[in-house]
Each structure stands twice: as C-alpha cells, then as structure tokens.
C-alpha cells in the first residue's frame, strides 16, 4: 500500500503543477497614451557635468514639462 502511495503522490503533484498555469489567465490592458497625445511628466532632473558651458539642449531639457508622444 505504501509503495502505491509513493508512486501516486508524485504523479498527482506533477499533474497539478502542469495544469495550474493554464488555469491562470492574463489580464488585457489598454494603454491610455496614443501616438500624438501630449504627456506631462512628473519630476524630471537634468544635470550637466563638464568643463565647458552647458549645451543649449541641456538648458532646453530643463524647461520641459510636456512631451508629445511620437511613435
């Protein structure tokens, strides 16, 4: 009897492990931002480290609050 138990229990565990992932379904999510939408970012920090004057693109990036999602 114990011998049969030792054969059946691992088989049952194997079957449960193989079948259980198929019972879980992934949720579908729709992204709320589409191409062409404007997006406001939270806190964005831009820093410059160098021996020369800060380039204009770094200065411009420091002023950015909104970006247009371009695809």
Give the DSSP per-residue string, the chain: -HHHHHHHHHHHHHHHHHHHHHH--PPP---S--TT-EEE-S-------SSSPPPHHHHHHHT--EEE---
**pLDDT at residue 68 is higher than 70:** yes
pLDDT digits (tens, 9 = 90+) for 16-51: 888 877 777 777 777 777 888 888 877 778 888 989
Domain total in the chain:
1
Q: Which domain holds residue 10?
A: 2-25+32-68
The confidence score (pLDDT) of residue 1 equals 61
**pLDDT at residue 7 is higher than 80:** no
The confidence score (pLDDT) of residue 71 equals 55
């Amino acid at each position: 009897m114990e011998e049969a138990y030792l054969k059946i229990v691992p088989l049952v565990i194997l079957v449960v492990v193989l079948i259980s992932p198929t019972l879980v379904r992934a949720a579908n999510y729709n992204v709320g931002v589409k191409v062409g939408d404007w997006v406001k970012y939270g806190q964005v920090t831009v820093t410059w480290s160098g021996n020369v004057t800060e380039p204009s693109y770094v200065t411009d990036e420091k002023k950015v609050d909104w970006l247009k999602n371009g695809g």
